[in-house]
């Protein structure tokens, strides 16, 4: 049975969903973007289950943590999972283009497919799709809105400041 928690961070409210196999979803409640998310009636709220994950997300959003050490279990196609694995290799504070991610998974011509996989990422922030930008460096696409993508990039590029 899936469990969930929800909590406020310095940037927005966050909902985490998961089970014993790992975190399956992270939703940034920004009120922007195209991603709709609903807590399902069969899910059980269990704040204690997510205590470590909540602490890590809070520390990241406050600019005090650069990496996550959590068990993840995102549902997706093999291609999507390859893209998401490549995203986790982007260092904190750095950006990559969709083409660079496509090259990283061995298919330089798959930039558009990489963009689609990014848009389906069920665990943004932890799987850092916000670190992917257009080939010109322009902010493009983020399921939780470009304003949040910009804030996350800024947070990472000035990690020692308090972003509360």
Burial class (CB in 10 A: 0-12, 13-18, 19+), 94: exposed
| Domain co-membership, 82 together with 153 | yes
pLDDT of residue 31: 86
Chain segment 9-55, per-residue pLDDT in tens: 999 999 999 999 999 999 999 988 777 899 999 999 999 999 999 99
CATH number at residue 42: 3.30.160.70
Q: How many CB atoms lie within 10 A of CB 75?
A: 10
The parent domain of residue 127 ranges over 78-157
pTM of the model: 0.91
Number of compact structural domains in the chain: 2
Helix (H, G, I), strand (E, B) or coil at 84: helix
Residue 101 has pLDDT above 50, yes or no: yes
Q: Which of these is catalytic: 15, 114, 117, 129?
A: 129
Position 98 in a domain: yes
Is 12 a known active-site residue? Answer: no
Chain segment 60-82, per-residue pLDDT in tens: 998 888 999 999 999 999 999 99
Contact 16, 23 (CB under 8 A): yes
């Amino acid at each position: 049975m899936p469990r969930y928690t929800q909590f406020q961070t310095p940037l927005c409210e966050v909902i985490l969903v998961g089970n014993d196999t790992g975190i399956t979803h992270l939703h940034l409640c920004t009120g922007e973007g195209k991603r709709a998310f609903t807590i399902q009636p069969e899910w059980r709220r269990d704040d204690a289950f997510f205590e470590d994950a909540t602490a890590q997300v809070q520390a990241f959003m406050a600019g005090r943590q650069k990496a996550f050490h959590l068990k993840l279990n995102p549902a997706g196609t093999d291609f999507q999972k390859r893209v998401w694995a490549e995203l986790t290799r982007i260092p904190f504070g750095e950006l990559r283009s969709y083409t660079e991610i496509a090259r990283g998974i061995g298919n330089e011509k798959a930039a558009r497919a990489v963009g689609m996989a990014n848009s389906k990422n069920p665990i943004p922030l932890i799987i850092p799709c916000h670190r992917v930008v257009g080939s010109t460096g322009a902010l493009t696409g983020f399921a939780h809105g470009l304003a949040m993508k910009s804030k996350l990039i800024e947070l990472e590029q000035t990690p020692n400041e308090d972003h509360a």
